[in-house]
Amino acid sequence: MQWLMTRVLAGVAAVVAVLVGAGALLGFQAAGRPAQWAVSQGSDAAWVGSWEDTGPLAAVLDTGGVDTVYVHAGDIAADGSVERVPDTGALLSWLAQGYPEVRALAWLRHEVTGSSLLRDRFDADAREVLASEAPAVAADGFDGLHLEIRPVTVNDPSLPELVGMVDEGLGEGAVLSVQAQHVELVPGARVPSFVLGREEKYWSKGYLDRVTGHADEVVLPGVDSGMPMGLLYEGFMVRQVTEGVSALAHREGVAVRFGLPAHTSDRWGPSTSSESLETALSGVRLGLTRAEPPEGMVLGVALYLADETGADDLAAYTSEWLSP
């Protein structure tokens, strides 16, 4: 019994040490000033629902910084089938008429609770179903696909294979965007997070590269960080940028975006007081400055727009990113 307690206490101490170390790292990351070049390239994106009131979306597109929208087009079931969202055609027609230069990607979501070290997120049959249905959704007036599948455990072989199958089905010219999970803040930090949360929150840099190997664009989320303070959230975003760019730096022509919390409800993700758009942008700019991304890598941000983005968020996006 004493031997067991010693092992348990040692494990707890190791988790605490990792958490304390990660906190200190994030606090340090938030120090410094961003470079003048670490600003918008005009290649930003926004997640949008399929609703008829296009006022909030128009306000974002009128800034001129967003060239891609992820239109919620369907939800992916466990068997790989897609339940389509109705009336996406109305939004696509509105975009084509008012903003013909903006690309629309079909945003397909699969979100569940919990992940397993033993069970693939999608079995072989489900992968076949989704690989056939997803391109069919994209062909319905979209410029490509944006896949959001989470949570997925590191080294789960089903997701990299699925992304490759979907890419093959899309054909030439269509854009494939993949929404990743957070990159672990330090090597090994995903392990205590998995133990405590009973699902995979972080991906290793190697798995991020593996999953997105067939993707044209990659999005790292900027919400649900779990950071209790704005300073730690800023450091968290710095680390997401530096680690994400490092993992994908060898990929010629890939576009990498970082999510910004521009929503006030929990419809598309948690909304917390420590996660603000202004703080996230400060972290992204600092991260880009430190990462020194390779020439040719397209970098941008993505706004969690949904159907309620306030004037303050748009002002911060404009002043802190488009023309700081």
What pLDDT score was predicted for residue 133? 97
Q: Which residues contact 2 (CB under 8 A, 6 or more apart)?
A: none
Residue 229 in contact with residue 243, Cβ under 8 Å?
Answer: no
| CA end-to-end distance (rounded Å), the chain | 61
Q: Is 174 helix (H, G, I), strand (E, B) or coil?
A: coil
pLDDT in tens, 3-20: 434 443 334 444 444 444
Which structure tokens are listed for 225? 């960080």
**82: part of which helix (H) or strand (E)?**
strand 82-84
243 φ, ψ to 5°? -70, -40
User: Is residue 72 left, alpha or beta, with left meaning phi > 0 and alpha meaning psi from -120 to 50?
Assistant: beta
pLDDT band at residue 2 using 50, 70 and 90 as cut-offs: very low
- Could you tell me the pTM of the whole model? 0.88
What pLDDT score was predicted for residue 54? 82
Q: Is the pLDDT of residue 148 over 60?
A: yes
pLDDT in tens, 30-71: 667 899 999 999 999 999 876 656 888 898 999 999 999 999
Q: Is the peptide bond before 151 cis (omega within 30 degrees of 0)?
A: yes
